[in-house]
Structure 1
């Protein structure tokens, strides 16, 4: 079968389309014919070898995928799954790690997956939509609903809102009834954020971020929950944005993080955390129940995953280069 591969760490020039043996599903597994897969922010880091993880080489990128059951492993015919069923894949394999990190990813024609990692797809959800969901949208859903617990009429600041996680955060917050301030790196991306529902769109790299957010949401006041400031900050950027966000968070506001793309050890200002009684909340990954909820939202027309482009896996260099250059708005989809 064909698969996108890299044999060593480096830039996009290390990616190529090669031939590998079609996997055979073991007992308790299904062979999935991949119909669509998606790149995530960790794929360039895995390719570049910058994560510190030991990556088994050769590696195939892409953790997210959807497809059809092509075959079942031995002694798995009577567990409720049938050949031909449409499924989305939960990319975290118990005991084996993440697809595209420790286990071969989904940018291939076929993939063997444990039955416990399969999620049935509603008939009116496309393979491309389903492939956009697990890592980014699953992470966003858990941050918004389970960890930050965003409520109607709250004001939420979403940093780096133009990627998969961020664009979903904007959609979910608006679905709840919150007011959204989002940041984007270009005029075009900010226009797209407004079209997605953001009430305000600010430049990502602005040194005036604190002033601009305070102009919109007001200035936080010590021990005054009714004064200005944003109720929630979604910050998986880190770096120089960390301390700035503490200055726009209202009294007893909360900041939730699921990553640190611009640096994991930023300068901070603990005075704001104690004096304004702010909550710093971590959020790691997604839940299986959340993936089912996302599919149901898409099927009901309540959520439409933002898809930047759909390309064949043979053009993975182009897709990866675009992702590394921060030119992607939403999710970049590949099809075998």
Structure 2
């Protein structure tokens, strides 16, 4: 079958497009999907590069997020029929494996997965939209609501707002009535974030985002009415040199929400701000099946939009990888066989 796979860890040159990759065959408890859409995440870049302390079986087909239709059912599988429209929960919650990392993912014509990882797609949700929901959108929902408790009237800053997680955070914050400040690196991205509902947009390449937040909401202080100055919530899953600045944007009792560290996991720290301002640092690790189902439900109701930046084929999937790696994406990129 046709597939785009990672031959070994390294740069873009280790990715290969093949027309004779081994066919997907269902074993007991598994199904084969005809892939209709797969979306890339920065996790796929980390899989290609290699991650410290993690050994992966290579070659592997990347693509955590897979939407398609059931074309083959293995023994001992119940509740599914040929032709069912499904999206895959990328995390195997029994073996702890991950689609597109420890087993082949969605950048192929067909994909084989354990049946217990299937999630049914609502009738009025298309495959592209469904493929957006698991990794980025479900992660955002868990971070924002389950762990972050974002609520109406709060002032929420979102770093990396133009990425897959970020565009969902913007929508979810507005859905509950929060005031949103979105940060991005170009005028085009900022304009489109405005269209999504962001109340304020800041180009962090041209302006110091900390100074801009202080100009909008005042400089946080422990004393008097100034204790309410600053953001209530700052979403920072980039890490790196933005971490300490994020702490300085928050009011007394403010919250930092994080679900990753795409720009560096070991930033210089200044923990004085955490205790002096009684800040809360709330981590969120991926998502649950219920988070995926909730995102699909919101999409079905028209309350959550899958923002798709560009669509690629397997033959030009290398261009999709480059677009994600170079952070030229607003929302998500889709690869269709």
Distance 1:251 1:128 in 2: 41
Task: Indicate the larger mover: 42-51 or 269-278.
Answer: 42-51
CA deviations over 1:240-274 (Å, ceiling 9, x no partner): 11111111101101101111111111112212111
Instruction: State the match for 2:241 in structure 1.
Output: 240
Q: TM-score, normalised by structure 1?
A: 0.96
Aligned to 1:298: 299
- 1:57 is matched with 58
Deviates more, 1:4-13 or 1:102-111: 4-13
Superposition RMSD in Å: 1.5
TM-score (norm 2): 0.95
State how many pairs are aligned: 334
- How far did residue 126 of structure 1 move? 0.5
Superposed CA deviations along residues 24-75 of structure 1, whole A, max 9, x for unmatched, are 2122211111110011011122212255422211111110010011111013
| Cα distance change, pair 240–224 in 1 and its aligned pair in 2 (3 A) | farther
Query: Which position in structure 2 is the counterpart of 1:71?
Result: 72
The DSSP-based 3-state class of the residue aligned with 1:131 is: helix
Q: Distance in 1 between matches of 2:298 and 2:266?
A: 36
Distance 1:224 1:293 in 2: 41
Which residue of structure 2 aligns with residue 30 of structure 1?
31
State the alpha-carbon separation in 2 of the partners of residues 88 and 100 from structure 1. 14
2:195: which partner in 1? 195
CA distance in structure 1 between the aligned counterparts of 2:138 and 2:184, rounded to whole angstroms = 21
CA shift, 1:206, in A, is 5.2
- TM superposition shift of 1:12: 2.2
Conserved in 1, the CA contact under 8 Å of 2:254 and 2:278? yes
Equivalent position of 1:86 in the other structure: 85
Q: Aligned pair in 2 of structure 1 residues 47, 118: CA closer, same or farther (>3 Å)?
A: same
Q: Can you give the 5+ residue segments of structure 2 that lack an aligned partner in the other structure?
A: none
1:3 Cα deviation from its structure 2 partner: 1.0
Distance in 2 separating the partners of 1:67 and 1:224: 57
Give the whole-Å Cα distance in 2 for the aligned partners of 1:315 and 1:223. Answer: 57
**C-alpha distance in 2 between matches for 1:129 and 1:41:** 18
Which shifted more, 7-16 or 104-113? 7-16
Q: 1:52 to 1:185 in 2, by over 3 A?
A: farther
- 1:33–1:68 contact (8 Å) kept in structure 2: yes
